Amino acid sequence: MLFNKVKSDSFKLKVLAINDGSKDNSLNALKGFWRKKYDYINVIDKENGGLSSVRNLSIELCDSEYIWMIDIDDEITIDSFRYYFYKKFFRY
């Protein structure tokens, strides 16, 4: 998993995990195991409002210069993470 390979002490990393009204056990997993293991994960629970409401809330809550939105069905590897930041910080 990506979280295991990214060290948040090497740069300021924040993860907003937004539960958009899901009724499965994902919210409990995020609030329990994941939040305790990775202190840079902020868990937000909201009523279902659809993808655009989650995107808008993410932008509203983001207090950093860069934002990368990932959906639950996206597969993100450490290489894609590195590529994203390489392109942002080391343009050629």
Q: Which of 8-17, 30-39, 49-58 has the highest mean pLDDT?
A: 49-58
Question: Which tokens in the block code for residue 18?
Answer: 């937004």
Predicted pLDDT at 58: 94
Give me the long-range contacts of 55-59 (CB less than 8 A, separation at least 24): 57/18, 58/16, 58/18
* Interval 45-91: pLDDT, tens: 999 999 999 999 999 999 887 788 888 788 877 777 777 777 666 65
